Amino acid sequence: MSKIQSSKELQHAEVNEIEIQGNEASSPLAIVSDCSIGQGGEWHQLAAQGELALSTNQGVSIADNQNSLRANIAGPSLLEDFILREKITHFDHERIPERIVHARGTGAHGYFELTHSLAQYTSAKILSEVGEVTPLFARFSTVAGGAGSADTPRDARGFAVKFYTQQGNWDLVGNNIPVFFIQDAIKFPDLVHAIKMEPDRGFPQAATAHDTFWDFISLTPESMHMVMWIMSDRTLPRSLSMMEGFGIHSFRLINGAGESTFVKFHWRPKLGLQSTLWDETMKLAGADPDFHRRELFEAISAGHYPEWEFAVQLFTEEQAAQFPFDHLDATKLIPEELVPLLVIGRMVLNRWPDNFFAETEQVAFCPSHLVPGIDFSNDPLLQGRLFSYLDTQLSRLGSPNFHQLPINAPKCPYANHQRDGHMQMSVPSGRVAYEPNSLASDVLSEQPEHGFRSMGMQENGIKVRARSASFADHYSQARQFYLSLSKYEKAHLRSALVFELSKVEHPHIHKAMIAHLRNIEEDLAVRVATGLGIFDLPMAVHPAQLVQNFPISPALQLIGKAANTLQGRAVGVLIADGSDKTIIDAIEKALQEAGATLKIIAMSINHIRLSEGSFVKADGQLAGTPSVLFDAIALVLTHDAAMLLRKESSAIDFVRDAYAHLKTIGVDQGGELMLQHIGIEKDLGVIDISLLENVEHFLTAAKTRQWEREHLVRTLA
């Protein structure tokens, strides 16, 4: 038994009296073979005694592994921080050529159109010239899994956009969640090492439900807000085109007079927000591991182009000083009720890549890619990303010339004196490769008026490894998020925590997490503890700052924010020989008018004879096309077909899963017979479509889930 040591005060000042038990002896770092301390018993003895120093790869002991070096307590990170650079450089080069994080992704080409000018705030043409259409490439990804993992695990989603502007490339590299796990980039390698497959066993893949992740989280109070988000329905998106995107960090907009305004960037999907349910998600991964990329491909191919509104939150330095949190802390968001969103444009994705590897895999995003009129803030997580992403691209793509790849190349003229390097694809001519010079006829000159200029700021203070006291409130926004959710979302979040923590082998981690949850909301902690069979609750963690009760923010909810449309949705219709063609045609016609997709499902693919004698071909064979792939289902069956299918397990699962996943079910007389056999009682989400006038009612109900059914089909925490 041991307690958090005083040497960890900066990281864990608020973690009091959490007892750590049952830790297995293991080697946290490799020691080179010629070191005087080997990996045997002597090493373990020194480690157990606390006498082995955490050090750099050069053997320099590290005084603070929690904070990067900053110009002052609220200032920017410093390039001289060799500990930060060594740690992140090593981390960035751990995997080649696959991305270390965000490896599983897909992307598409499109355009951005500005509809509202921000000319008073920025000189960036892309944000000031209304009507300007800018080509772009967007990539969406999971975070934790490898390139061969599934599309649909519980995970944050990367949301990265490369704008090919007139002034150069601008990369807005964010997530579908507005906050992040950590406040300082120096902790990013630790976070990802904890979240990835455990190194001694190589699993679990693309999952956080394991000991190393929750061990790290339980010792990192700053992560509690992000934990609420990743355990929420936000990390189970129904579609890539039904999730929001966030730039996460505060950036600066700089106008022609050199005046600065803070900005946060948001993407809002035209189709609104929708998620899947956890049981549905797990089955989706087996039914179609490519579910999200296939849906994006099919939507673009059908001309149903995904679209997002682009919005900003604008605020001044003076306004920021009045916030009850620090906007430079990446574990915090600015509620829309405090600073409303201003919609300024839209993004449309209208072209699938010609080659997945050449474009989607080789696209290189860097937060450091900005254009004049946009600048960075002193967010310490952002400051570290400015180094890390470029370093990662050098590792993945093997050359400083990765910008010459077609997917990465600017679409505006560019020229400089950089030469040579691995995989140089251009052939510069002439004898001059420097500036200034008097020998070249085509002189490249600086552009003092229109070129990129950083915001002029005065930084005072003592350089230090520490975090501002304004970063110390780790629970208030986590509490605000949880209390803002609908009752269904709260139940899903609690159940997600129970599921994840039930996979954790070490009981002390359960108790440590419950101790944190008590600071967020007591009922949340009690219900999670009950779900884990823990009835003696540990004392709440002593917070570094008093937990505040922020106002409820309805904008944080997901349920109810789906658009009132069937566009982008799919309905599966189960048929067999003799099925009523009139009903099928009515559903298909209505879906086409609504911009949705109909898929015919049957026991066999070919030669299904309908009621009036015509033959149709199915889109999917029943055993391989479960109802998890659809937003609603219809059962159009004769009496004889229903009697046959009620003995078929795949048919029973098709119906039972749709009901359990709260989907609308349309039935004719044969379909109702199937329900009776399975034991499903009709509710408002089960609609008789043998009456054709009910088809519209069926499709209207299909726009949402039947939430009032949930308490009948599952027990939630």
Verify whether residue 116 is a known catalytic residue: no
pLDDT tens digits, residue range 516-536? 999 999 999 999 999 999 999
**pLDDT for res 65:** 84
Q: Judge whether residue 290 has pLDDT over 90.
A: yes
| Mean pLDDT on 499-518 | 98
Q: Report the distance separating Cα 667 and Cα 599, nearest Å.
A: 16
Residue 15's pLDDT is: 40
pLDDT in the model for residue 25: 37
Whether the pLDDT of residue 424 is over 60: the answer is yes
Mean pLDDT over residues 83-111, rounded? 85
Residue 269 has pLDDT above 80, yes or no: yes
50 — pLDDT class (breaks 50, 70, 90): low
Mean pLDDT in residue range 338-352:
98
Opening angle at CA 461, ends 460 and 464, nearest 5? 130
Give the mean model confidence (pLDDT) for residues 157-172.
Answer: 96
Strand partners, 615: 609
193 is catalytic: no
pLDDT tens digit string along 176-205?
999 999 999 999 999 999 999 999 999 999
Q: What are phi and psi of 460, to 5 degrees?
A: -120, 160
Give me the catalytic one of 12, 67, 102, 474: 102
The per-residue pLDDT for range 636-645, each reduced to its tens digit, is 999 999 999 9
Comparing 86-95, 270-279, 289-298, the range with the smallest average pLDDT is 86-95
Split at pLDDT 50, 70, 90, the class of 95 is: low
Domains of the chain, start order:
37-61 (no CATH), 70-217+235-404 (2.40.180.10), 471-556 (1.20.1370.20), 570-713 (3.40.50.880)
Burial of 618 (0-12, 13-18, 19+ CB in 10 A): buried
Please write the tens of the pLDDT for every residue from 371-408.
Answer: 999 999 999 999 999 999 999 998 899 888 889 999 99
Q: Which of 67, 169, 175, 519 is an active site residue?
A: 175
Dihedral angle, C-alpha 101, 222, 157, 510, nearest 10 °: 90
Q: How confident is the model at residue 418 (pLDDT cuts 50, 70, 90)?
A: confident
Q: How far apart are CA 507 and CA 511, in angstroms?
A: 7
pLDDT value at residue 49: 62
Nearest alpha-carbon partner for 240 in 266, 267, 265: 267
Give the Cα separation of 589 and 298 in Å (integer): 19
**In this predicted structure, what is the pLDDT of residue 458?**
87
Query: Can you give the pLDDT at residue 373?
Result: 94
Separation between Cα atoms, residue 463 and residue 451, nearest integer Å: 30
- pLDDT tens sequence across 661-691: 999 999 999 999 999 999 999 999 999 999 9
Give the pLDDT of residue 430.
87
